[in-house]
Chain A
């Protein structure tokens, strides 16, 4: 039986609402920031970006459900200068600034283009979720990073991306109970088929799995799905 014909169980809806909540927050932030940036013509100085981004990050990190590990904005080339990027990203309750030296680097653009969470939304213009992966650039933590392109009003060009990191342990804390209610082998997986949280003891976050023919799949947000048998 196809998944669409089955009524979506409540625990699945809870998982969906947590992920789409994060995506929705980023979408709104990207619009607000795009509007604020439209007011500034030409090259935007780093300090002005900090002034727009930091209060928003402060607000986001103060929310505790789900707890966000860090958030910020990274400029595409052209916004603060040709072939230059700019990072305005903060993490943790102390609002610690991240990767600050890169803002003085002539090769910062190259640095971020190597990262999936920057490259994909910049090149495709579509929101993205990366991971779970170890973020060696910023937190050194095990995270999923949600990113959303930012455009100035009336412009098709991507001026940069806003993003947020959610620790995999935070996702486990919030989602494991619901997945267990669905069954003993139910997992939240990324688009690549990588486990994010699973009710199965044999599966750890990061393991690659493939969808069993008999199993049910529910889409979760833009890039995730819940896989597994719903009967226990």
Chain B
């Protein structure tokens, strides 16, 4: 009886906790940042006007304006006035290792470990199911993410996240997939850092290849172990850097 009351009260605490305001402008900022980082929007390109952006994303022009001014403050876009004016994606914008290092320093070891645990649980589960469900086309797609076509930091990071997303796509669990997308957003630019290390880059190709091989062999247990190694290597690199 008392046991039940205790477990119920824990749930109630969550029910009555204050609601955060939606932060619609922040979501618009995130979307645009993500679009630039993944190459959907490119440096120098003109962005839609406040009104166009608002209409496209289904937010009010005030929210769009707020988002654009926040992007401007971060240096992601520049705005010029006059007849050929407008907002443009900044020429030199790239997620920087400096920003990523700041993000890493702001975290505690505990937080990095906890994030790593979550990341590992989700990706390992996806890999296990993916080994049962992958077809030849999907395997071919997975193998395109072993090594990037260009040797840039951003391409390495993209390959890193796309490879794991492809595992989730092959596994076909909507819940795990959404969780992975959210986790990668939480990790932010952190995953950029290990790829500044030449040795890590090459090691990661080997580890991704091992995962793809296990999935091709339809070996769930091996796919799980090799995926765990891949994620652990990334988190371990970050912990190592953090302790310096």
Per-position 1/0 for A90-131, Cβ under 8 A of B: 000000110011111111100100000000000000000000
Residues of chain A with a CB closer than 8 A to B48's CB: 104
Other-chain contact of A134, B31, B57, B135, B177 (Cβ < 8 Å):
B177
Per-position 1/0 for B126-165, Cβ under 8 A of A: 0000001101000000000000000000000000000001
Per-position 1/0 for B161-183, Cβ under 8 A of A: 00001001101111001100100
In the bound complex, CA of A132 to CA of B172 (Å): 8
**With A97-B56, A103-B56, A106-B45 known to touch, is A207 a contact of B174 (CB < 8 Å)?**
no
Residues of chain A with a CB closer than 8 A to B172's CB: 132-134, 142, 205-206
CB-contacts of B91-148 with A (<8 A): 132-133, 135
Query: Smallest CB–CB gap between B78 and chain A, Å?
Result: 16
In the bound complex, CA of A107 to CA of B38 (Å): 11
In the bound complex, CA of A169 to CA of B66 (Å): 38
- Closest residue of chain A to B132 (Cβ to Cβ) is A207
Other-chain contact of A105, B41, B58, B171 (Cβ < 8 Å):
B41
* B233 interfacial contact with A, CB 8 Å: no
The secondary-structure label for the interface of chain A is: mixed
* A192 interfacial contact with B, CB 8 Å: yes
The secondary-structure label for the interface of chain B is: helix
Residues of chain B with a CB closer than 8 A to A102's CB: 40
Query: Smallest CB–CB gap between A221 and chain B, Å?
Result: 20
Contact A97 B57 (CB under 8 A): yes
Contact B56 A136 (CB under 8 A): no
In the bound complex, CA of A108 to CA of B172 (Å): 25
CB-contacts of B15-73 with A (<8 A): 31-32, 35, 39-42, 45, 47-48, 56-58
Contact B178 A104 (CB under 8 A): no
* A4 interfacial contact with B, CB 8 Å: no
* A10 interfacial contact with B, CB 8 Å: no
Residues of chain A with a CB closer than 8 A to B58's CB: 96-97, 100
CB-contacts of A142-188 with B (<8 A): 142
Query: Smallest CB–CB gap between B91 and chain A, Å?
Result: 15
- Closest residue of chain A to B166 (Cβ to Cβ) is A136
Residues of chain A with a CB closer than 8 A to B165's CB: 136
* A141 interfacial contact with B, CB 8 Å: yes
Contact B39 A107 (CB under 8 A): yes
Q: How large is the interface on A (under 10, 10 to 19, 20 to 34, 35 or more residues)?
A: 20 to 34
* A208 interfacial contact with B, CB 8 Å: yes
In the bound complex, CA of A208 to CA of B132 (Å): 8
Contact A136 B169 (CB under 8 A): yes
* A212 interfacial contact with B, CB 8 Å: no
In the bound complex, CA of A24 to CA of B154 (Å): 44
* A140 interfacial contact with B, CB 8 Å: yes
Query: Smallest CB–CB gap between B57 and chain A, Å?
Result: 6
Residues of chain B with a CB closer than 8 A to A103's CB: 56
- Closest residue of chain A to B28 (Cβ to Cβ) is A101
- Closest residue of chain A to B218 (Cβ to Cβ) is A208
- Closest residue of chain B to A132 (Cβ to Cβ) is B172
In the bound complex, CA of A29 to CA of B187 (Å): 43
**With A105-B35, A134-B169, A207-B133 known to touch, is A140 a contact of B174 (CB < 8 Å)?**
yes
Some 5 contacts from A to B, beta carbons below 8 A apart, are A101-B56, A111-B40, A134-B172, A192-B135, A206-B133
A interface residues, Cβ below 8 angstroms from B: 96-97, 100-108, 111, 132-134, 136, 140-142, 192, 194, 205-208
| Closest 9 pairs between A and B when the two form their complex, measured CB to CB | A100-B56, A206-B172, A142-B174, A105-B40, A134-B177, A101-B35, A140-B178, A104-B48, A206-B133
In addition to A107-B39, A133-B172, A205-B172, 17 A-B residue pairs with Cβ atoms within 8 Å of each other are A96-B58, A97-B58, A100-B56, A101-B40, A101-B57, A102-B40, A104-B56, A105-B40, A105-B41, A106-B42, A107-B40, A108-B40, A111-B40, A134-B172, A136-B181, A194-B135, A208-B133
